[in-house]
Amino acid sequence: MIEIENLRKTYHMGTVEVKALDGVDLEIEKGEFLGIMGPSGSGKTTLLHMLGLLDLPTSGKIIIDGMDISLLTDYEKTMFRLYKLGYVFQDYALVPDLTVMENVSLPAMLRKDRTEDQYRNDTNDILQKIGLYDRRDHLPRELSGGQQQRVSLARAMVNKPDILFADEPCANLDTENSRIVLDLFREINESVHQTIVMVSHEDWHKDYFHRIVRLRDGKIVSDGINGSKAS
Amino acid sequence: MGKKELKVAFLLALRSLQRGGRSSVILTILIVGMCFTNMIFLPAMFNGIGQSITKQVVDYEVGNVLVSPQSGDQYVTDLGATLDLINGMPGVDRATPHYSKGATLKYRQRVLGVSVRAISPNDEKYVSPLYTKMIGGSYLGDGDTGEVIIGKPVAGDASIRQEDEFQPSLGGVRVGDSITIEYGNGYTKDYRVKGIYYTGWSQADSTVYVTWTDMEQVEGKPLDFADYITVKAKPGYSEKFIKDELQQYGVSQKVQTTSDLLSKSLGRALQSFAIINTVSLIVSIIITTVVLFIVITIKTLNSRKQIGILKAIGVDKEVIMHNYGFQVIILAVLGIILGIIIASMLAVYMAYHPIVTPEWSATLYITPMDLVINSLILFVAAIIAGYVPAWQVSREDIQTAMRA
Ligand SMILES: Nc1ncnc2c1ncn2[C@@H]1O[C@H](COP(=O)(O)OP(=O)(O)OP(=O)(O)O)[C@@H](O)[C@H]1O
Ligand SMILES: [Mg+2]
């Protein structure tokens, strides 16, 4: 599904060079729930942004579904993100002036292959699934952090993406809410065989991952099937 | 840019205005509305003054077309034949002569120099609304002799002392009083004041009118000549048409339309008006443009992170640009509507409370065309003001925007 070859990203801060990614090779299978872990500054977000077409690598190759994404134009990348990828951000990143319903349906409304009925149904279905259907007309600021993050997950899932990316989705949540959100990710992964790539540095999150890639200083230091994985 | 993208852009714009910062939305609309009013008001004011002066000149001075002596001549001669000729032409409602003579009015202790104007009262009715402006007594009749009608400022007010008067008067003449008129040629006669009128046009109000018959007595001979002839056109006939017709069919006098006459005297005033109008227009456009530019710039700067997120989830930059574009369009349209309402209310108010000066009175003169043109100008300015920052921010790359 995803192949990464010798991926490098170097930031220049004045005269200082920061190698955020320093030669990463990785393959991700369809249906995998992959955790990217590692200390702060190890390059987790950078890797996720490369995979999610949000930033350009300095060198190396990313191939998603057989497509070398460096060949895409700006507009094609936007459409690729809209049709094939879903994102959940650390700080929910909902549009504050849109209701829950409007936030979730926004990406679906833009798709040429969805009629109005379809995207309304999709939105309602996903809101039912995350248990916030009865809050659909509320604004994000009227919801708790955990609820907002569930809405953000619903927005990422409404277009049924090939790959779901999440960058520390529970960083702003307490343990209980983190569990609710992570359980949702797991449920989605199991029920529709959803490929998920999630960044985390909370050790207990690893229970949820099939496979864990650990980064340090922009390099992969370990990559393995999660033996201690629950269930 | 498809329909779906525009729909999403419009939804984002609408929600941002509805749910983000009510007060800034209202203030922005107010400013656009005020600028629109400002763009409309001064030109409409000047137009109103121009229109009102024109109307009063037509009503009380020259009619639609003025027939005056050829240069070198003192009078329009062969009056009877000339009047018959003009009155017989298609499109002419009525032609009527004026003949004025300098005179001194005497009433009790007061003495006042005026111009006495002889008219044919019945014909004059077709040309001038003077007969509808009587505030006391009645208008002249064709056969009247020894009767005069005078303007209110000439009659004066008995309760105002002479030294306090704004302009000299006879100090409170009332209908039925007798005044003495001593003409320049020495002829002196007592007249009964038949009526007092007030038109608001100072030239007319400081004149006194007698009948043609009376003036013939003053001159001691039939008056087959006049200072000039005023001609009223029938509705639907242009001044130009009448003028051309008169010249073509043998009126050997000088023929001028009211516009000909006014373009000379009012021309210079209108030029200064035009400068003031232009300045006020440019100032309004600049204020609107700057305000909308600032409003949209602040909005975009405050939402850079959100713009980054939207792009990350697959919203195209065009959608983001049009989101702000639509916001500015909505603000501008609402502002313009507000401006049209304010301007219309001012126009209605001023129709009932015109600006009155001793010389003339004026109301706002606004045509639908003025509203359309100014709306378009302001609309275009608003679009430019909104799309420039929207375009800039929509082009920012995702990483930079998301880190903002
Ligand atoms: N835009 C940038 N400009 C300069 N340096 C950057 C930029 N983005 C990231 N870096 C640097 O690249 C390195 C990796 O950053 P990254 O954000 O990927 O770390 P991370 O593993 O996600 O850390 P955290 O757990 O704190 O989120 C860090 O040293 C960071 O300072
Ligand atoms: Mg990070």
What CATH number does residue A78 fall under?
Answer: 3.40.50.300
Condensed to tens digits (0 to 9), the pLDDT of residues B207-242 reads: 999 999 999 999 999 999 999 999 999 999 998 999
Q: Which ligand is nearest to the CA of A213?
A: 1
Task: Name residues whose C-beta falls within 8 Å of residue B7's C-beta, 6 or more positions apart in sequence.
Answer: A109
pTM of the entire structure? 0.79
At position B265, the amino acid (one-letter code) is S
Mean pLDDT of all residues belonging to chain B: 90
For strands A163-167 and A85-88, give the pairing: parallel
Helices (H), chain A: 44-51, 74-84, 100-109, 116-129, 145-157, 175-192
Q: What is the mean pLDDT of residues B99-117?
A: 93
Ligand 1 pocket, mutate which of A11, A40, A197, A200 (most atoms under 8 A from CB): A11
Residue identified by tokens 């850079």 is B304
Q: Which residues contact A80 (CB under 8 A, 6 or more apart)?
A: A53, A64, A69, A72
CB contact under 8 A, A95 and B12: yes
In angstroms, the CA B205 to CA B127 distance is: 17
pLDDT at A227: 62
Q: How far is B321 from chain A (nearest CA, A)?
A: 14
Percent residues over pLDDT 70 in chain B: 99
Distance from CA of A94 to the nearest CA of B (A): 8
- CB pair distance less than 8 Å for B4 and A111: yes
Out of A81, A96, A109, closest to residue B8 by CB: A109
Instruction: Estimate to the nearest angstrom the gap between the alpha carbon of B367 and the chain centroid.
Output: 11
Ligand lying closest to the C-alpha of residue B403? 1
Tokens of B327: 């916001």
Judged against a pLDDT cut of 80, whether residue B270 lies above it is answered with no
> Residue A195: beta bridge partners?
A163
Alpha helices of A18-58 — where are they, by DSSP H? 44-51
Q: Which residue type does B115 have?
A: S
Q: Which pLDDT score, from 0 to 100, does residue A229 have?
A: 46
Asked if residue B154 lies in contact with residue B170, where contact means CB atoms within 8 angstroms, the answer is yes
What pLDDT is recorded for position B154? Answer: 93
Instruction: Give the three-class secondary structure for B111.
Output: strand
pLDDT > 80? residue B304: yes
Gyration radius (Cα) of chain B, Å: 32
Cα angle value B243/B56/B65 (rounded, 5°): 10
Domain containing A89: what range? 2-226
**Total structural domains within chain A:** 1
Residue B102, CB half-sphere, CA atoms under 13 Å: how many? 3
The best mutation among A9, A12, A16, A18 to test binding of ligand 1, ranked by most ligand atoms within 8 Å of the C-beta, falls on: A18
**Range of A20-29, B251-260, B269-278 with top mean pLDDT:** A20-29
**For position A179, what pLDDT does the model report?**
92
User: Can you list the alpha helix ranges (DSSP code H) found in B233-353?
Assistant: 239-248, 258-265, 267-302, 304-312, 317-352
**CB atoms B19 and A97 under 8 Å:** yes
Ligand 1, pocket residues at CB < 6 Å: A 11, 13, 18, 20, 38, 40-46, 201
> CA-CA distance, A152 to A181, in Å (whole number)?
10
Which amino acid belongs to residue B67?
V
Residue of B211, B310, B260 whose CA lies nearest to B65: B260
The minimal CB distance from B399 to the residues A55, A95, A98 is found for A55
How far is the first Cα of chain B from the last one, in angstroms, to the nearest whole number? 27
DSSP state of A128: H
CB-nearest partner of B313 from A75, A87, A96: A87
Segment (H or E) for A214: strand A211-216
| Mean pLDDT in residue range B327-342 | 94
Question: Based on the number of CB atoms within 10 Å of its own CB, is A228 exposed (0-12), middle (13-18) or buried (19 or more)?
Answer: exposed
Nearest CB to A82; choose among B2, B314, B399: B314
Q: Is A72 part of the contact surface with chain B (CB cutoff 8 Å)?
A: no
B14: closest chain A residue by CA: A97
Is the ipTM higher than 0.85? The answer is yes
Shortest Cα distance from B301 to chain A (angstroms)? 15
Which atom of ligand 1 is found nearest the CA of A12? 4
Average pLDDT over residues B1-15: 91
Q: Do A112 and B398 touch (CB under 8 A)?
A: no
> Looking at residue A228, what is its pLDDT?
54
CA of residue A10 to ligand 2 center, whole Å = 16
> What 3-state class would DSSP assign to B110?
strand
Which residue matches tokens 């009659």?
B155
CB contact under 8 A, A97 and B316: no
pLDDT of residue B209: 96
Instruction: For the beta carbon of residue B171, count every other beta carbon within 10 angstroms.
Output: 18
Q: How many angstroms is it from A47 CA to the middle of ligand 2?
A: 9
Contact A165, A52 (CB under 8 A): yes
Grouping H, G, I as helix, E, B as strand and the rest as coil, residue B2 is coil
Distance of CA B212 to the CA centre of its chain: 34
Of A86, A110, A139, nearest to B315 by CB-CB distance is A110
pLDDT average, residue stretch B31-50: 87
Residues of A whose CB is below 8 A from B16: 97
Alpha-carbon gap, residue A138 to A142, rounded angstroms: 6
Residue A231 lies in a domain: no
Q: In angstroms, rounded to a whole number, what is the distance separating the alpha carbons of residues B193 and B146?
A: 9
Residues of chain A with pLDDT under 50: 229-231
How many Å is the Cα radius of gyration of chain A?
A: 18
Give residue B47's pLDDT: 82
Contact B355, B362 (CB under 8 A): yes
Provide residues of B within 8 Å CB-CB of chain A.
2, 4-5, 7-8, 11-12, 15-16, 18-20, 305-306, 309-317, 319, 398-399, 402
* Partners of residue A84 in chain B, C-beta under 8 Å: none
For residue A20, give the 3-state DSSP assignment.
Answer: strand
Residue A45, in any domain of the structure: yes
| B225-234 pLDDT, tens digit each | 999 999 999 9
Give the residue among A145, A192, A124 at the shortest CA–CA distance from A164: A192
A156 to B12: CB separation less than 8 angstroms, yes or no: no
How many CA atoms are closer than 13 Å to the CA of A133, on its beta-carbon side?
Answer: 11
Residue A214 inside a domain? The answer is: yes
Q: How far is B395 from chain A (nearest CA, A)?
A: 11
